[in-house]
Amino acid sequence: MEKIIVKGGCKLSGEVNISSAKNSVLPIIAASILSGDKCYIRNAPMLEDVLVICDVLRSLNAEVNINRTNNIITIDTSKACTGEPNPELVRKMRASFLIMGPMIARFGKFRISLPGGCNIGTRPIDLHLKGLTALGVKIKLGHGYVEANTNKLIGNKIYLDFPSVGATENIMMAAALAEGETTIENAAAEPEIEDLAHFLNSMGAKIKGAGTDTIKISGVKELKGVTHTPIYDRIEAGTFMVAAAITKSKIKINGIMEEHMKPVIAKLTECGVAMEIQGESIIVDGDRDLRPVDIKTMPYPGFPTDMQAQMMALLSTVKGTSIITETIFENRYMHVGELKRMGAEIKIEGRSAVIEGVDRLCGAEVKATDLRAGAALILAALSAEGVTAIGDIYHIDRGYVEIEKKIQMLGADIRRLKE
């Protein structure tokens, strides 16, 4: 088992480059199933989750080539079959379920094990299934499997009870090859959905409104293979912004879209962090007296749930009382216990966490309980007195490209220990 060891207290300086967004690349790899032609993904982040979805496609006979030298993933699904994807891989990651929409659209039938993922809530798939049913898919559930069949997908009007990211993506991908027009209302508006729509449109799809709460899709008969470079990872960028704030340092982060960062920039500004945008870079100066803030996680363009744990680490070190309310997932406070081991003062009251900032966190033995929780522990450790050893870091590797190397380059005392 590997660990990340951090000796806290170092100031950070220099520049860091942000990778492409995990949450864009996963649906885009799934969407490549919609065409029998080859698709190329440039600047692909070599993350565990990305490798898993590539293996899921391989288990369906797709040829997937991962070139780590130039970070290009080539996907050829011309020989893909309707057989069942490897259930062990599917259970490793919830995003595996994103292949449902493309598989049913291309082959008319599909059987897949119910998905797994981070332990951050029950995360049902009812909205995905409701949407696909509205397009004419017959769904059978049983023995831990979803079985889907259709003679023909036909466009429809779909109103999502909640703007689920995955459900919006699955419906959008299936509707791209349906007959007629589909409208998704109360759709998720995350930048990654817009990126997926760009990918699909360059394949020949006709999608309008992605990135807003109403998406209109005019179905087409077929889609062609394309080359795509995904957007930058706004959560990785946000994590490094908090790294500057929590260590009271000034760093330059390369690879951001200002528009996508607005919710995080707004909160950090309220907190007192100074920031300056320079094109696709941001300079973050955390060497200030910071103020406590209240945060409520919301669907985009609200504050992202994927930045909640990192902000909690920061607010644990900011004098005064901050309140975080998690509205997206019902069980996303598993990092609280670990932060408390490091001296944080946090109380959970229902969906809210009340944080009393302390003068200093202290190093401890902790465990990453999920992906962003793990990132939060690294951030806490950077500011803490003494040494922190973070275990179960496979969670972190699911979503951050060589995080310890990137932080090391900024001058921190951090290393990966193979036990």
Q: Which residues contact 70 (CB under 8 A, 6 or more apart)?
A: none
Among 20, 77, 156, 305, binds ligand UD1 (CB under 6 A): 305
Among residue numbers 323 through 352, which ones bind ligand UD1 (CB under 6 A)? 328-329
3-class DSSP assignment, residue 3: strand
**Residue keyed to tokens 């094109």:** 279
**Beta strands at 15-17 and 138-142: parallel, antiparallel or unpaired:** unpaired
DSSP codes joined into one string, 237-296: HHHHHHHHHHTT-EEEEES--HHHHHHHHHHHHHHT-EEEEETTEEEEE--S-----EEE
Contacts of 79 (CB under 8 A, 6+ apart): 61, 62, 63
Give the x/- contact pattern for ligand UD1 in 166-185, rule: CB under 6 A. Answer: xx------------------
Contact between 108 and ligand UD1 per CB under 6 A? no
162 interacts with ligand UD1 by CB under 6 A: yes
Taking CB under 6 A as the rule, does residue 52 contact ligand UD1?
Answer: no
Q: Is 44 helix (H, G, I), strand (E, B) or coil?
A: coil
Nearest-approach distance from CB 363 to ligand UD1, in angstroms: 28
Residue window 85-104: x/- pattern of binding to ligand UD1, with contact defined by CB under 6 A: ---------xx---------
- 54 catalytic, yes or no? no
CA dist 53 to 95, 99, 148, 232, 255, Å? 8, 9, 20, 19, 24
Among the listed ranges 123-131, 135-143, 266-274, 375-383, the one in contact with ligand UD1 (CB under 6 A) is 123-131
Nearer residue to ligand UD1 within complex by CB, 6 or 28: 28
Nearer to ligand UD1, 97 or 240 (CB): 97
CA nearest to 234, candidates 297, 278, 192: 192
Q: Which of 306, 338, 370, 397 touches ligand UD1 (CB under 6 A)?
A: 306
Residue closer to ligand UD1 (CB basis): 127 or 313: 127
How many residues make contact with ligand UD1 (CB under 6 A)? 23
As a whole number of angstroms, the distance between CA 109 and CA 88 comes to: 20
Distance of CA 159 to the CA centre of its chain: 24
The answer to whether 16 and 240 have CB atoms below 8 angstroms apart is yes
Q: According to the binding rule CB under 6 A, does residue 165 interact with ligand UD1?
A: yes
Nearer Cβ to ligand UD1 (252/398):
398
- CB crowding 50-89: b at 16 or more within 10 Å, else e: bbbbbbbbbbbebebeeeeeebbbbbbbeebeeeebbbeb
Nearer to ligand UD1, 129 or 410 (CB): 129
User: Which of these segments, 72-80, 165-173, 344-352, 385-393, binds ligand UD1 (CB under 6 A)?
Assistant: 165-173
Between 83 and 124, CB nearer to ligand UD1? 124
Per CB under 6 A, the list member of 6, 12, 20, 23 interacting with ligand UD1 is 23
Tokens of 115: 């998905």
For residue 116, the minimal CB distance to ligand UD1 (Å) is 11
CB count within 10 Å of CB 347 equals 11
Per CB under 6 A, the segment of 99-107, 121-129, 201-209, 268-276 that binds ligand UD1 is 121-129
Taking CA atoms, 61 is separated from 77, 79, 80, in Å, by 7, 6, 5
Asked if residue 191 binds ligand UD1 (CB under 6 A), the reply is no
**Could you say which of 39, 54, 118, 271 is catalytic?**
118
Residue, CB closest to ligand UD1 = 166
Binding site for ligand UD1 (CB under 6 A): 23, 26, 94-95, 121-128, 162, 164-167, 188, 192, 305-306, 328-329
Residues recognised as catalytic: 118
